[in-house]
C-alpha cells in the first residue's frame, strides 16, 4: 500500500544533541501507527516535526504525495491531541468543539452546522451543554477528538493521551480510542512509551531508540521476530545467549550454533548467517518447556539441563529462573491445565529446558547495554507458590546474570 505520510531522512538537532537521526518511515492511510520507545528517544520530536511545530535540520515530510516540510502547522491538516486533552474547563462541550472555528472567524451558521455534525458523529449530543468537569474520562477523550476532528484533519497525532490516567481507565480509554478510530476512519499516529498500549491498539509500530527507528512492524512481528537486541529486550522479556554459527544444517533454513556450555544447538537461520559469524540468540521465556524428565528426541528440539534457582507463581503462569552453565535462564510456564495436576517442580530441582529451533531469534546487531533493560526480580517479591513450589531466594549466583523482568 502506498505511503500516506512519509518521512524521508529526517534529522533534528537541539544544539549538539541529535534528537532524530536520519529517520525514514511510511505511514499508511487509515492505520493506527504507534511511535514506541523509552523516554527521550525522540517520539514527541518526531510527532512535532510531522505537525510542523519543529523544523527538521535535514529530510522531508511528505503528506499524500505533497512535500509539507516547509508548511506552517495550521496549513498541514494534521491535528494534535495532547496529554490530558487540554480542554477549556470554563467552556461547555459545544463551545470547546467550536473553539477552533470561532478563532478562524468562520460564519456562525457554518460553526453551528459543523459542531452539530461533530457532536452527532462522536455521540456527544446529550452532553453538549455540560462543562468538562461533569464528563467521564471517556467522554472527555471524545470531546478532545471532536475538537480536533472539526478542523477536518487527515491525520490525528496523539501524544501520550493516556499517560496521566490510572491503569484501569487507560485500558478502557484504549478500547474507546480504537472505537473512535473505527468510526472516523482517519489515520492516527499514537505516541507512547507503554508497549502494552502500543501492542493492543496499533496496526503497526515503530520502535524508537536514541533518535532512530530500530524496527517497524505489527505487534506480532516485533515481538516474535525482533531485529535488534534493543527491540528484543524492550518489547516483552527475553534471554540472550552468545553463539557462533558452526555451519548450515542439512536443511539450509537452519544452522548449528555453538553456545558455550551447551551442545547440539540448532536454530532457524532466516538471515542465512554464514559459518563463523557471531550471533546472539534471543529466546522468549514462554518458548521454553521445563521438565524434570528429558524431553523426547526430536532433531528440531534443543535441550539444556540446569538447576532451578527461583520460582514465582503468578496465577496464570509460573516464572522460573534456571541456572544452566553460565546463564540464568528465565522461563515462563503457562498454566493451561489445572496447575495442581501439573508436574511439580521446585527450587534446586535438576530440570531440562527445551525449545524448538524455530522459537529462537538470531540477532546480528547486539549491544550488551540492552541487557540493562532486563532486570532480575526483586528477591522481596518472591512468595510461596501452591502445589509445593517455593519462591525461596537462592544465594547470589555467579557468572552472567542474564534474566528478564517479570
Ligand atoms: P518522553 O516520552 O519523555 O516525552 P520522547 O521520546 O517523546 O520522550 P522527546 O520529547 O522527543 O522524547 O525528546 C528527545 C530528546 O530531545 C530528549 O533528550 C529531549 O531532552 C530533547 N529535546 C526535546 N525538545 C528539546 C528542545 N526544545 N530543546 C532541547 N532539547 C530538546
pLDDT of residue 399: 30
Residue 392: pLDDT band by 50, 70, 90 thresholds?
very low
340: confidence class by pLDDT, cuts 50, 70, 90: low
The pLDDT value given to residue 341:
66
Residue 254 has pLDDT above 50, yes or no: yes
Please choose, from the candidates 155, 129, 132, the residue with its C-alpha nearest in 3D space to the C-alpha of residue 142: 132
Atom of ligand 1 at shortest distance to CA of 15? 29
Kindly report, residue by residue over 156-194, the tens digit of the pLDDT: 999 988 876 778 778 888 888 888 898 888 999 999 999
Nearest-CA residue for ligand 1 atom 16 is 19
pLDDT of residue 152: 83
Note the pLDDT of residue 170: 81
Is residue 2 predicted with pLDDT exceeding 80?
Answer: no
Hey, which of 19, 20, 83, 157 would you mutate to test ligand 1's pocket, going by the most ligand atoms within 8 Å of its Cβ? 19
Is the predicted pLDDT of residue 339 greater than 80, yes or no?
Answer: no
Q: Which residue has the cell 530500530?
A: 214
Cell numbers 491503569 correspond to what residue?
167
Pocket test for ligand 1, best of 18, 34, 43, 194 (most atoms within 8 A of CB): 43
Q: What is the pLDDT of residue 13?
A: 97
Calculate how far, in angstroms, residue 17's C-alpha sits from the geometric centre of ligand 1: 10
| 42 Cβ below 6 A of ligand 1 | yes
Q: Which residues contact 173 (CB under 8 A, 6 or more apart)?
A: 137, 138, 141, 161, 162, 165
Would the pLDDT of 43 be above 70? yes
Q: Which protein residue has the closest C-alpha to ligand 1 atom 23? A: 45
Give the percent of the chain with pLDDT over 90.
64
Prediction pTM value: 0.85
Q: Where are the alpha helices (DSSP H) in 243-344?
A: none
Cα–Cα distance measured from residue 147 to residue 86, given in angstroms and rounded to the nearest whole number: 11
Q: 82: Cβ below 6 Å to ligand 1?
A: no
Q: Rounded CA gap, 335 and 281, in Å?
A: 26
Q: What is 193-253 written as a DSSP string?
A: S-HHHHHHH-SEEEEEETTEEEEEE-HHHHHHS-SSHHHHHHSS--EEEEEEEEEE-SSTT
382, 390 contact by CB (below 8 A): no
Where does residue 327 rank: exposed (0-12), middle (13-18), buried (19+ CB within 10 A)?
buried
**Residue 389 pLDDT more than 60?**
no
Please give the C-alpha separations between residue 75 and each of 68, 78, 154, 230, in angstroms, as whole numbers.
Answer: 9, 8, 12, 37
Nearest CA owner, ligand 1 atom 19:
40
Pairing of strands 155-159, 78-81: parallel
pLDDT of 251 reads 84
**With bands split at pLDDT 50, 70 and 90, how would you rate the model's confidence at 1?**
low
Which triple of cell numbers denotes residue 102?
A: 470561532
Distant-in-sequence, close-in-space partners of 16: CB < 8 Å, separation ≥ 6: none
Residue 406: is its pLDDT beyond 80? Answer: no
Residue 388 pLDDT exceeds 70: no
More confident residue, 178 or 398: 178
48-82 tens-digit pLDDT: 999 999 999 999 999 999 999 999 998 888 988 87
Please determine, for residue 379, whether its predicted confidence score (pLDDT) is greater than 70.
no
**pLDDT on residue 221:** 95
For ligand 1, is residue 39 a contact (CB within 6 Å)?
A: yes
252, three cell numbers = 539450509
Q: Which of 45, 55, 194 to mutate for ligand 1's pocket (most ligand atoms within 8 Å of CB)?
A: 45
- By residue count, the chain amounts to 406
10 Å CB burial of residue 70 (0-12, 13-18, 19+) is: exposed
Mean pLDDT of all residues in 310-331: 94
Nearest of 202, 203, 200, 230 to residue 215 by alpha carbon: 230
Closest ligand 1 atom to the C-alpha of 37? 6
Q: Which residues pair with 312 in a beta bridge?
A: 319
Quote the ligand 1 centre to 19 CA distance (angstroms).
7
| 44 CB near ligand 1 (under 6 Å) | yes
C-alpha cell at position 25: 518511515
Q: What is the Å distance from ligand 1's center to 192 Cα?
A: 13
Domain architecture of the chain: domains with CATH: 3-224 (3.40.50.300), 231-381 (2.40.50.100)
Q: What is the mean pLDDT of residues 120-125?
A: 87
Task: Enter the C-alpha cell of residue 127.
Answer: 452532553
Q: Is ligand 1 within 6 A of the CB of residue 41? A: yes
Give yes or no for residue 19 CB within 6 A of ligand 1.
yes
Distance between CA atoms of residues 52 and 67, nearest Å? 12
Average pLDDT of the chain, as a whole number: 87
Closest-CA residue to 321 (of 349, 355, 302): 349
Q: Which residue has the higher pLDDT, 117 or 24?
A: 24
Quick: pLDDT tens for 298-307.
999 999 999 9
| Nearest Cα residue to 319 out of 335, 340, 333, 299 | 333
Quick one: the chain helix, strand, coil %, rounded to 5? Answer: 25, 35, 40
pLDDT average, residue stretch 20-38:
96
Q: Beta partners for 151?
A: none
pLDDT digits (tens, 9 = 90+) for 235-253: 999 999 999 999 877 788 9
Amino acid at each position: 500500500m502506498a505511503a500516506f505520510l512519509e518521512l524521508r531522512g529526517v534529522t533534528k538537532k537541539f544544539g549538539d544533541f541529535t534528537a532524530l537521526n536520519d529517520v525514514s518511515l511510511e505511514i499508511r492511510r487509515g492505520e493506527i501507527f504507534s511511535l514506541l520507545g523509552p523516554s527521550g528517544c525522540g517520539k514527541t520530536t518526531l510527532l512535532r516535526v510531522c505537525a510542523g511545530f519543529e523544523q527538521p535540520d535535514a529530510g522531508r515530510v511528505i503528506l499524500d504525495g505533497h512535500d509539507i516540510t516547509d508548511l506552517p502547522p495550521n496549513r498541514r491538516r494534521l491535528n494534535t491531541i495532547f496529554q490530558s486533552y487540554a480542554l477549556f474547563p470554563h467552556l461547555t462541550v459545544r463551545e470547546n468543539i467550536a473553539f477552533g472555528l470561532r478563532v478562524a472567524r468562520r460564519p456562525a451558521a457554518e460553526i453551528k452546522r459543523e459542531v452539530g455534525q461533530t457532536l452527532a458523529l462522536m455521540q456527544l449530543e446529550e452532553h453538549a451543554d455540560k462543562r468538562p468537569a461533569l464528563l467521564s474520562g471517556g467522554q472527555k477523550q471524545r470531546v478532545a477528538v471532536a475538537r480536533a476532528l472539526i478542523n477536518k484533519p487527515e491525520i490525528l497525532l496523539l501524544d501520550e493521551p493516556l499517560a496521566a490516567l490510572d491503569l484501569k481507565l487507560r485500558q478502557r480509554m484504549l478500547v474507546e480510542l480504537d472505537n473512535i478510530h473505527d468510526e472516523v476512519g482517519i489515520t492516527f499516529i499514537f505516541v507512547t512509551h507503554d508497549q502494552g498500549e502500543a501492542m493492543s491498539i496499533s496496526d503497526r509500530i515503530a520502535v524508537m531508540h536514541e533518535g532512530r527507528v530500530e524496527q517497524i512492524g505489527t505487534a506480532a512481528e516485533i515481538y516474535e521476530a525482533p531485529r535488534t537486541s534493543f527491540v528484543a529486550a524492550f518489547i516483552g522479556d527475553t534471554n540472550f545467549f552468545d553463539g557462533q554459527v558452526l555451519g548450515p544444517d542439512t536443511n539450509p533454513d537452519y544452522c548449528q550454533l555453538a553456545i558455550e556450555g551447551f551442545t547440539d544447538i540448532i536454530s532457524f537461520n532466516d538471515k542465512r548467517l554464514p559459518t563463523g559469524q557471531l550471533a546472539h540468540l534471543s529466546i522468549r521465556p514462554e518458548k521454553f518447556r521445563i521438565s524434570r524428565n528429558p524431553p523426547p528426541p526430536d532433531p528440531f528440539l534443543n535441550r539444556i539441563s540446569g538447576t532451578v534457582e527461583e520460582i514465582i507463581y503468578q496465577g496464570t503462569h509460573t516464572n522460573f529462573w534456571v541456572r544452566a552453565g553460565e546463564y540464568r535462564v528465565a522461563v515462563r510456564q503457562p498454566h493451561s491445565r489445572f496447575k495442581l495436576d501439573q508436574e511439580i517442580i521446585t527450587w534446586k530441582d535438576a530440570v531440562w529446558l527445551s525449545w524448538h529451533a524455530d522459537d529462537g531469534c538470531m540477532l546480528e546487531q547486539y549491544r550488551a547495554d540492552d541487557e540493562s533493560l532486563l532486570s532480575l526480580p526483586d528477591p522481596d517479591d518472591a512468595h510461596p507458590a501452591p502445589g509445593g513450589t517455593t519462591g525461596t531466594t537462592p544465594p547470589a549466583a555467579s557468572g552472567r546474570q542474564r534474566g528478564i523482568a517479570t
